[in-house]
Chain A
Amino acid sequence: MSPKISLRGVTKSFGPKKVLQGIDLDVAKGESMVVIGGSGTGKSVLLKCILGLMRPDAGSIKIDDQETVALADGGRADVMRKFGMLFQGGALFDSLRVWENVAFGPIQSDGMKPDEAREVAIAKLGNVGLGPEIGELFPSELSGGMQKRVALARAIAREPEIIFFDEPTTGLDPIMADVINDLIVKCVSDLGATAVSITHDMASARKIGHRIAMLYEGKLIWQGRTADIDRSGDAHVDQFIHGRAEGPIRMQVRKL
């Protein structure tokens, strides 16, 4: 069976800085892939390339066997319909109420009537453990953990086939981080969706990922089953998963 997401030879540079240097990655349908790596190693760039928010310099990105790199507006919108995305900071629209944020995709992109979309939004808020009363609040009135939950509800509101998670637990306390991890596992499993997450939180990676790939200096230096990461045999991976200061990995100074 062909993979849901397939990347071949994806490269991306910003001026002289080569951020992605020939990425090959396959994600099977229903699989949860986690890409780990230190800050500034190109994880976000990789995610943005797959999402179509950034165009790679070279290489192929296929979704359901359809090449997406050079898609024009119409075709891109069709592919986007398959996607849901949880942004690192939530990226909730601060001028809209919580329920309007969750119902944004159904109303604006799918043409659902506001009353119907509101019910969908309240149901999705329920899926992430939030009551209907939260729907009337504005994002600025919510805590960081609550905002992440709302952002997750928005990401699953259109029942996407593929969900992307950008640093889903960053900035949260360990308990709330675990709650978010559980919700991610539950939502992905309920929808039967394929998931791609980027994180440097190993607890999160172990919990939400079926497979893990490690990005270092623009290349995927290791990928395999989550259960195998502790015996990867790669010094870079070992240093990263144990969070050691000493080892072959040198910290990135400049932001990409």
Chain B
Amino acid sequence: MSIPLVTLLGRMTLAFLEAIGSVSSFALQAIRCAFTPPWYRQQILRQIMEIGYYSLPVVGLTAVFTGMVLALQSYTGFARFSAESAIPNVVVVSLTRELGPVLASLMVAGRVGAAMAAEIGTMRVTEQIDALTTLSTNPFKYLVVPRLIAGIVTLPILVLIADIIGVLGGFLVGVYKLDFNDQAYLRNTIDFLQFEDVFSGLVKAAVFGFLISLMGCYHGYTSKGGAQGVGTATTNAVVSASALILTFNYFITEAFFAR
């Protein structure tokens, strides 16, 4: 019994290492292409619209309700210790450092990562990627690099907007439901907020944007086997991007805030 188990573990380890190697090689090739011309500006702008502008409603909705819930939950906990005045501080720090970047990125991973994998995967199985090559166009430069650049540029902007909307959600609950003084709430929020809180969130967002695009492009580009293959690529893109977001979130947090 022990030999098959060891064999299984060995195979799983090899498959895992092979996947890491494959993704790393893909990422390195994409980064190399990102620093050499030509750059397809129209494709980059199109992807910025796709990832950024069209994700605004879902990110905004997530942020406003997260801010509102955060204010409510904090109140029920802090009221026991007569620490209600800390609610604006908790809301703004939680949102800028953690919830803004992580939740916005997870929502974008679901929306955009899946769409990228599906689009590029379909192009792969219908030979459109081969067609690009025969038209003297490097598919990495035309398909992958614009999505990576757009991910890195747009996610921080989305997260900044999510932070503002989230704080506004907390403000609305604080002022209209919990009877905070509006001036005091805003004053507490602004006074407590530090540059590092926002900056760390934006760095996270840029890294998460890269990961979302990388996973969407990688799984789409390497998909095979027709419609089923594209379906699998889409699922894998979302799952792997989400897992990487949560993993990298810890390491970036540790790099910024660990004592």
Binding site for B on A (CB under 8 A): 48, 51-53, 73, 77, 80-81, 83-85, 87-89, 91-94, 104-105, 108-109, 154, 158, 164
- How far in angstroms is the closest Cβ of chain B from A194? 15
A85 touches B131 (CB 8 A): yes
A87 touches B135 (CB 8 A): no
* Residues of A contacting B133 in the complex (Cβ-Cβ under 8 angstroms): 51-53, 80
B127 touches A89 (CB 8 A): yes
Known: A77-B136, A83-B134, A109-B137. A93 touches B128 (CB 8 A): yes
B136 touches A91 (CB 8 A): no
* Residues of A contacting B138 in the complex (Cβ-Cβ under 8 angstroms): 73, 77
* Residues of B contacting A53 in the complex (Cβ-Cβ under 8 angstroms): 130, 133-134
- A–B Cβ pairs within 8 angstroms, 18 of them: A48-B130, A51-B134, A52-B133, A80-B133, A80-B135, A83-B134, A85-B134, A87-B127, A87-B131, A89-B126, A91-B127, A91-B130, A92-B128, A93-B123, A94-B128, A108-B40, A109-B136, A154-B135
B126 touches A105 (CB 8 A): no
* Residues of A contacting B180 in the complex (Cβ-Cβ under 8 angstroms): none
B134 touches A81 (CB 8 A): no
Q: Does B185 interact with chain A (Cβ within 8 Å)?
A: no
Report the separation of the CA atoms of residues A250 and B128 in the bound assembly, to the nearest whole angstrom: 32
Report the separation of the CA atoms of residues A105 and B131 in the bound assembly, to the nearest whole angstrom: 10
Which of A48, A81, A91, A109 lies in contact with B131, CB distance below 8 A?
A: A91
A108 touches B137 (CB 8 A): yes
* Residues of B contacting A158 in the complex (Cβ-Cβ under 8 angstroms): 135
Interface residues of B in 61-97 (CB under 8 A from A): none
Which of A87, A94, A105 lies in contact with B136, CB distance below 8 A?
A: A105
Report the separation of the CA atoms of residues A154 and B136 in the bound assembly, to the nearest whole angstrom: 13
* Residues of A contacting B26 in the complex (Cβ-Cβ under 8 angstroms): none
Report the separation of the CA atoms of residues A105 and B133 in the bound assembly, to the nearest whole angstrom: 10
8 nearest CB pairs, A to B: A109-B136, A91-B131, A91-B127, A85-B134, A105-B135, A80-B136, A87-B127, A91-B128
Q: Does B142 interact with chain A (Cβ within 8 Å)?
A: yes
* Residues of A contacting B127 in the complex (Cβ-Cβ under 8 angstroms): 87-89, 91
Report the separation of the CA atoms of residues A104 and B123 in the bound assembly, to the nearest whole angstrom: 16
Report the separation of the CA atoms of residues A92 and B128 in the bound assembly, to the nearest whole angstrom: 6
Question: Which interface residue of B123, B135, B142 has the most chain A CB atoms within 10 A?
Answer: B135
Closest to B32 in A: A73
Which of A89, A108, A164 lies in contact with B135, CB distance below 8 A?
A: A108
Report the separation of the CA atoms of residues A158 and B130 in the bound assembly, to the nearest whole angstrom: 17
B136 touches A84 (CB 8 A): no
Encode B112-132 as 1/0 by CB contact (under 8 A) with A: 000000000001001110110
Question: Which interface residue of B40, B130, B133, B136 has the most chain A CB atoms within 10 A?
Answer: B136
Known: A89-B126, A91-B126, A108-B142. A80 touches B134 (CB 8 A): yes
Report the separation of the CA atoms of residues A179 and B160 in the bound assembly, to the nearest whole angstrom: 58
B128 touches A81 (CB 8 A): no
A104 touches B135 (CB 8 A): yes
Report the separation of the CA atoms of residues A52 and B133 in the bound assembly, to the nearest whole angstrom: 9
A109 touches B126 (CB 8 A): no
Closest to A73 in B: B138
- How far in angstroms is the closest Cβ of chain A from B117? 16
Report the separation of the CA atoms of residues A154 and B134 in the bound assembly, to the nearest whole angstrom: 11
* Residues of B contacting A108 in the complex (Cβ-Cβ under 8 angstroms): 40, 135-137, 142
* Residues of B contacting A48 in the complex (Cβ-Cβ under 8 angstroms): 130
Closest to B36 in A: A73
Closest to A111 in B: B38
- How far in angstroms is the closest Cβ of chain A from B131? 4
